[in-house]
Amino acid sequence: MYAETETGDAGAPPKTVDMYECSNCGATVEADSVICPLCGEVFELAASQFDAKEPEPPERRKLEKIVAAALVLLLVGVVAGAVFVTRPASPANPNTTTTTTTTNTTTTIVHGVTEASFSASSTTHDVPMPGTVAAGDLLIVFLATHGTPNIAAPAGWTFFFGWNSWGGPSSKFSMYAKAANGTEGGTTANFQTSTAVKGAAQVYRISNWRNSGVIANDVEVNVTGSTDANPDPPALDPTNWGSEKTLWIAAYGADGDNAATAYPANYGNGTYAESDQSATSASLASAYVIRTSAAEDPAPFTIAASSFWIGCTVAVRLAA
């Protein structure tokens, strides 16, 4: 190694540059070089050369920026934890396509519909509850009976309506609801009738509803009736809330075993139940949709033949 002194401009201090001789090819290289420009030999750096930070080559800085940008995009996706998923209609929901935002879990509102058929006339109607019920769940029972008996609901259930068939005393359709305490799973609730009748029931298990402590403030219903093959649930504009995310249930109870062949447009999970197939049977069907709206007027059902029916629209206020 040797040193050369270069003469600068007048008045400027001289610049001293250390030079090295490449041990591989003998070429002269500057002291701060790490690679011989002639043969490509890589030099070992003296400790003193680490005292000052070497400028990064432009190619390296470009590569680091690309890597940093990719890491930022990946980090944003991980931190946010939200994936927007459009779920196509399933066979059980032929009319419904739902767009949801999920953070690794999907919020379930309706956990299923439990059905029951009472094919023998009796005053005891032990309606089975869902196999699993959590404290705070909302349970809704729809009950259709042949004939028009008085019905005594079990303790803890709130009566919403009990309408006799439109135009004749051949059947009755009723609805009850309850805020669950968590012990109902796998049990039954006896809806006692004043006379022995056949019947059919459906039980909705609902979570993530806005439980204010007064069930009538969070669940509202409207009822109508007629005689034809198109049970038509009436329009409903809840009085206790406006345009909010709401579970809308359309349902009917009817005389006879005329199966539902079509459900309200854009409503999914249509479910039909009947007591039996006879001249003294009763039947019901329901379907639901979840959407943000201030009011709802479901389209009609279609049943196999004209019958006396009672139709209802139910609104359940959901948690914010």
Is residue 75 pLDDT above 70, yes or no?
no
Instruction: Specify if 175 maps to a domain.
Output: yes
DSSP calls for 121-169: EES--EEEPPS---TT-EEEEEEEEES---EEPPTTPEEEEEEEPTTST
- pLDDT of 148 above 60: yes
Same domain, 137 and 19: no
Q: In terms of domains, do 172 and 230 share one?
A: yes
Average pLDDT, integer, range 10-29? 50
Within a domain: 38:
yes
Q: Are 241 and 311 within one domain?
A: yes
Question: What residues does 116 pair with on adjacent strands?
Answer: 201
- Share of residues in the chain with pLDDT > 90 (%): 64
Distance in angstroms (rounded) separating the CA atoms of residues 283 and 294: 30
Q: Tens digit of pLDDT for each residue in 248-301? A: 999 999 999 999 999 999 999 999 999 999 999 999 999 999 999 999 999 999
Same domain, 189 and 50: no
- Please, which pLDDT band fits residue 111 given cuts at 50, 70 and 90? very high
CA distances from residue 38 to 1, 22, 71 in whole angstroms, order as listed:
17, 9, 38
Look at residue 167 in the predicted model and tell me its pLDDT: 74
The pLDDT of residue 130: 98
Name the residue among 166, 141, 106, 82 with its Cα closest to residue 290: 106
Confidence check: pLDDT of 127 > 60: yes
- What pLDDT is stored for residue 47 in this prediction? 39
Residue 3, pLDDT above cutoff 90: no
Residues 8 and 148 in one domain: no
Q: What is the rounded CA–CA span in Å between residue 101 and residue 106? A: 8
Confidence bin at 60 (pLDDT 50/70/90) = low
Adjacent-strand bridge partners of 313:
222, 250
Domain membership of residue 92 (yes or no) is no
Verify that 140 and 241 share a domain, yes or no: yes
First CA to last CA across the chain, in angstroms?
77
* pLDDT value of residue 2: 36
Boundaries of domain holding 197: 104-317
The per-residue DSSP string of 80-109 comes to H--EEEEEPPPTT-TT--EEEEESSS---S
Residue 68 pLDDT grade (very low, low, confident, very high; cuts 50, 70, 90): very low
121 and 198 fall within a common domain: yes
Q: Are residues 108 and 221 both part of a single domain?
A: yes
Answer whether 274's CB lies under 8 Å from 257's CB.
yes
Based on the fold, state whether residues 238 and 160 are members of the same structural domain: yes
Q: Is residue 96 part of a domain?
A: no
Do 125 and 184 sit in the same domain of this protein? yes
Query: Which pLDDT does position 188 carry in this prediction?
Result: 98
Pair of tokens at residue 103 = 């953070």
CA atoms within 13 A on the CB side of 268: 17
Residue 83 lies in a domain: no
CA distances from 117 to 130, 140, 234 (A): 15, 16, 26
Spatial CB neighbours of 281, under 8 Å, sequence gap ≥ 6: 146, 198, 256, 257, 274, 275
pLDDT class of 320 with cuts at 50, 70, 90: confident
Give 33's pLDDT tier (boundaries 50, 70, 90): low
- The Cα angle at residue 266 between residues 264 and 271, in degrees rounded to 5: 55
pLDDT tens digit sequence for 170-199: 999 999 999 999 999 999 999 999 999 999
Residue 177 lies in a domain: yes
Is residue 257 assigned to a domain?
A: yes
Q: Which pLDDT does position 169 carry in this prediction?
A: 79
* Total domains, the chain: 2
Are residues 24 and 114 located together in one domain of the fold?
Answer: no
pTM of the model: 0.68
